[in-house]
Structure 1
Amino acid sequence: MQHLLDYTLDEFREICIEQGRRAFLAGQVYQWIYRHGITRFQDMSNVSKADRQWLDENWTIFRSRIDKVQYASDGTLKLLLGWDPPSDQQNALQLADAKSKLKQTETVMIPAGKRKTACVSSQVGCPVGCRFCASGLGGLEGNLTAGQIMEQVLRLSIEEDVDRITNIVFMGMGEPLANDKAVMKAIRMINAAWGPAIGARHITVSTVGLPKAIRRFARFDLPVTLALSLHAPNDELRRSLIPWADYATIDELLSACQAWFETSGREVTLEYLLLREINDRDEHARQLARIASQMRARINLIRYNEVKGLPYERPSTVDVREFQRILRRHGVNATIRASRGRDIAAACGQLRHESRGKSGNRESTSRN
């Protein structure tokens, strides 16, 4: 079975023609999926019976199963998705071999007024291994395909009371620029008029910092937003928190981000996760202000969500606001991200981490 969401409309149309189907079938199917949220071929009423049978026999819309659903009191929705090993050898390379355990990723819908943001994963696990993050605790287990990224968006959009996703952030599990080919294809499909049709300026890609990859991504022709996960104002502290910081200094990252701005014309967002008494002191704020003064950027301050088994703590509200005040006194545009989904472990990788701790690798309450 081929995963339909891996294909653009033009690619699927060509396959339809090659298989002796009429070209307009592709448009019919994609309209049902992306405009009406219909994910069963037999429910596509204007598609002929013969075409529906061909679709059922050769294609699947969903490769994942929903292993767990969590709703927070603030409306945040989190899905834990299980990816069964694919049957064909080529796709098996994407998520390890068929004998491996079920792979799981997370995706989150965050509501804010009329805006509904989907936070999507780009990999199973994460190769970066940030000391404070649950995503990398088991290491990297595989890359997601463009179709699997698309599937997260579709899964969220058809959940009750969600309706339409308006924004996308690649801030779930994984390092997006370490899987940039699939991520860029997914962005094109998310942005496409035949797909979810989400504007490029409403799509953000977050990276821990790969200078060569940032420079390469700057040539991407859609005006998405780049967010750099900085999390420390000096190299020594950053290396102690982010193992991949050994491969690039902050100065090298700033140079790459400046190249991004010069090429794309888009301001960079600096993401800064505040860890109590680790990187949230006044001197850290002053050092961060000096970094921000070197480039066109704004700073997004994020309060840490604790992860069971890790030694890091959430900073106090007083300390967070003082950190912001210091930045603003130095002329830095700094905002504090509203914490969402605190009562459902909505931080990256938390649900998977907690689920594996309770029941191994798989939740018993799962559904398709």
Structure 2
Amino acid sequence: MLDIKVQKTTAPKQKPAADDPLKFGTIYTDHMFLMDFNSEKGWHDARIVPYGDIMLSPAAVVLHYGQEMFEGLKAYKGPDGTPLLFRPGKNIERSHMTAERLCIPPVPEDVFLTALKELIKIDADWIPDAPATSLYVRPFMFGTDAKLGVDVSDSYLFVIILSPSGPYYPEGLNPIKIWTEDQYVRSIKGGLGHTKAGANYAASMKAQQEAHANGYSQVLWLDGATHSVIEEVGSMNIFFKIGGKVITRDLDGSILPGVTRDSVIALCKDWGVPVVEGSLTIEEVYEASQNGTLEEVFGTGTAAVISPVGELRWGDKNIMIGGGEIGEFTQKLYDTLTGIQLGMLPDPHGWVMKVE
């Protein structure tokens, strides 16, 4: 059993009022979890301490060679006030895959899960309960060795922080506009595209800035080889409902195996909706928009859950979807997923875990 030392804050922060706007990821709870690793002791010294800054050498490996990874999941307040986690095992499973790719020692599943639950129990009264809010949970790990040679670190820090948050997009559940990127490349098969590595997101920021400058919320990435096959959005996997089928990129090593993505595919199968995991080109999406078979487009991710797409900009073409309104199927997915996450709907797959 994990022995966690607990040091509670003597100066609790003022919590947001029920009607305060919660901009995503900008407010942090009173406490955080820390645990160290070195080659002699393995993972050790698990502790929950007051939220605060981390001391780090200017020569730390993470600062020079980017040996860093993270995860993202959410805690919700159930109908009886009990904190709920949505599929934490999938996040831990993905963290192991990312850790292996980045040469970071994985945190054992039982240790990871215990750390999550104990921290959330201590800061459970930070979980908001207004519509479209949650407690965002950010576990991350990075190399702490002080050395400038290009090499993996021998020491690491595992951290979990919590952030009461509202919708990821200011638009909320209103359809967003997405810019199709055909110049820059974020990832290729064999790279880091399938991992939750900070480097993935750094590589996407230039295109993201240009999309924002043109009035678009996110970037739609195309494959690095042909600049035609749709991969994913900067912060989400993406789905297209065309001619009654739901189509999304297959997990070929260049896109993130999203937990919400997996959940959406499972729901589609439950409902008898055909799902195709494969290659779909931006040209095929444009053709479907022209011949009337493009029905709905939506992104999926922990932060946004389900995000309807109302417009795709591809070169000089504007692909309009559903008259700029959320589609019936997208709404059903959102209502079902959030209903399960909040403990308001049946959970036939056993996705929700109580934090007790």
Q: What TM-score does the superposition give when structure 2 sets the normalisation length?
A: 0.26
Which structure dedicates a bigger proportion of its chain to strand?
2
Q: What TM-score does the superposition give when structure 1 sets the normalisation length?
A: 0.25
Which structure dedicates a bigger proportion of its chain to helix?
1
